[in-house]
Amino acid sequence: MRVPVPSGAEISPVLRHPEMSENERHASTSTTESAPLEPPSVPVSEVLASLSRALDLTEGQPLGHSVRSCVIGMRLGREAGLDDDAMAELYYALLLKDAGCSSNAARIASLFGSDDQAVKPRMKVVDWDDRMALAVETWRNSGMHQSLGARMRHFLGVARQEGMTKDMIATRCERGADIARRLGFPAGTVEAIRSLDEHWNGKGYPEGKRGDAIPLMSRILNIAQTVEVFWGAEGPQATEAMLRERRGRWFDPELTDSALAVLHDSALWASVQSPEVESHVVSMEPHTTRLVDARGLDDIAQAYADIIDAKSPFTFRHSSQVAMYATAIGEQLGFDEPTLVRTRRAGLLHDIGKVGVSNRILDKNGPLDLDERAAIERHPLHTWEILKRVSAFQDFARQASTHHEKLDGTGYPWNLGADELDAPSRALVVADIYEALTATRPYRAGMPVEKALGILERDKGTRLDAAAVDALAHIVTRDDSDRAL
């Protein structure tokens, strides 16, 4: 059975998202029976460069941090005399260096009692070797916007966490390295990410490696990302002062000298600061250009789903589960194979914009205030902005970003109506709601199947698509019956 989709309704200009054109707004409003799958292969550089914006969000960095770091790091790699194969390994490590960062967001938010996306960039610039500076910055970031007593409790809580920094960095680096390994990148890329935060003097993390024991590419990653952060936040003079002060402590002395030299290369910094820096990074992919096929795109979507779900302990496997339910609904409704592929990928990546929401909001045990609700309701905009930049993902970017829209126009962020939501989009909406209802959240336990279905039934035909709800009910009750047998 196929869901009828009305068309042709006029769209109020008030409801238009300024970054979504009229064509984009109406895109994918049919089930595209015979639409082909994506081309056989696309450059992995394009996919990773665009998706790196999600990693920037989870680190609280300005969008483009990863690709700007890539430009800087590749220049340092050439200065260090890396051969072509090593430059390729470095390139992918620079774009994936923060792949494990979402895994420590919840712990940082809980320990500091502050917005993890405010804490992370501030703690990134502090000199860990300067205990007084570290203590001052820890205080500044503890219990932000709370009472003095609450701030003191969080500050002391952080201070008492022996080995906290080491543990969090170890988790982050290992998860990032594991994602690179799962995606089939070479050992040099994997090892570069694992040792990203080691320091020349042996006081880095997670293993305290010293000097030449730190992989050269890790040393490049560390200096490149730190230079990018300082340059953007404090300017070239502060960046130069930082490099000179940390030479031989944080950073390899020879690499530091190279970085100091390139600070005066106006052409390099023009490319770093260019609005087209992402396209420039894609064109920089070394001669060993990697192409990714349909299966590879699935693997990347799954890897980023794991990055998304690692942001909160309450979203474990949420994206994978939503993808599973949405695809199963599509099968029940007779979607063709290309539409099922797109629906699964949309399910895996629908919440990629949520990495831009603070864990103080995502993990809050209580009602959200107006500002917090507004932050939550912006996350589909981030999903749209990230996915539409990837040519291989453009055919499901709209479906993924409309997962909170409702047939009666009461959803968010665009208040779309029934005429603007095709069958795959409607299936994804139902799958997302059902998975959220049956999963445990900070403010309640997961609901039993019957109760969740009852809530969906209440909105069937008004806010939610009737056929999609019926298909889901058939799937989950059938699965329960099978388990009972």
Average pLDDT over residues 239-247: 96
Within a domain: 421: yes
Number of domains forming the structure of the chain: 2
Q: What pLDDT shows up at residue 245?
A: 96
Average pLDDT over residues 83-95: 95
Pair (339, 412) in one structural domain: yes
Q: Which residues, 6 or more positions from 196, have their beta carbon under 8 angstroms from its beta carbon?
A: 97, 173, 176, 218, 221, 222, 225
Q: What pLDDT shows up at residue 480?
A: 57
Pair (261, 303) in one structural domain: no
Q: What pLDDT shows up at residue 17?
A: 40
* Alpha carbons 444 and 25: distance in angstroms, whole number: 35
Q: Which residues, 6 or more positions from 483, have their beta carbon under 8 angstroms from its beta carbon?
A: none
Residues of the domain holding 260: 43-102+166-283
| 223, 259 Cβ separation under 8 angstroms | yes
Within a domain: 452: yes
Pair (422, 357) in one structural domain: yes
Q: What pLDDT shows up at residue 114?
A: 87
* Alpha carbons 114 and 275: distance in angstroms, whole number: 32
Within a domain: 121: no
In this predicted model, which residue has the larger pLDDT, 129 or 431?
Answer: 431
Domain boundary among 283, 301, 321: 283
Q: What pLDDT shows up at residue 6?
A: 28
Q: What is the pLDDT of residues 6-57, one digit of tens each?
A: 232 222 222 234 355 555 554 444 444 444 555 557 889 999 999 999 999 8
Within a domain: 10: no
Pair (209, 93) in one structural domain: yes
Average pLDDT over residues 125-144: 85
Within a 10 A sphere around the Cβ of 203, how many other Cβ atoms? 13
Domain boundary among 283, 310, 335: 283
Domain boundary among 254, 283, 312: 283
Average pLDDT over residues 352-359: 92
Sign of CA dihedral 54, 59, 64, 65: negative
Pair (299, 344) in one structural domain: yes
Q: What is the pLDDT of residues 443-462, one digit of tens each?
A: 677 789 999 999 999 999 99
Q: CATH number for the domain including 439?
A: 1.10.3210.10
Pair (269, 298) in one structural domain: no
Pair (269, 304) in one structural domain: no
Of the candidate ranges 343-347, 353-357, 362-366, the one whose mean pLDDT is the lowest: 362-366
Share of the chain above pLDDT 90, in %: 65
Within a domain: 194: yes
Q: What is the pLDDT of residues 282-326, one digit of tens each?
A: 999 987 668 889 999 999 999 999 999 998 877 778 999 999 999
Within a domain: 422: yes
Of the candidate ranges 207-211, 311-315, 329-333, 418-422, the one whose mean pLDDT is the lowest: 311-315
Average pLDDT score over the chain:
87
Q: What is the pLDDT of residues 153-194, one digit of tens each?
A: 988 888 887 677 777 888 888 999 999 999 999 999 999 999
Which phi-psi region, left, alpha or beta, contains residue 32 (left: φ > 0; alpha: ψ -120 to 50)? left
Pair (388, 461) in one structural domain: yes
- Please give the model's pTM, rounded to 2 decimal places: 0.86
Pair (191, 238) in one structural domain: yes
Pair (93, 208) in one structural domain: yes
Within a domain: 116: no
The set of catalytic residues is 354
Q: What pLDDT shows up at residue 138?
A: 87
Of the candidate ranges 124-133, 231-240, 380-389, the one whose mean pLDDT is the lowest: 124-133
Q: What pLDDT shows up at residue 442?
A: 67
Within a domain: 129: no
* pLDDT above 60: residue 408: yes
Pair (242, 331) in one structural domain: no
* pLDDT above 50: residue 148: yes
Pair (344, 362) in one structural domain: yes
Q: What pLDDT shows up at residue 403?
A: 97
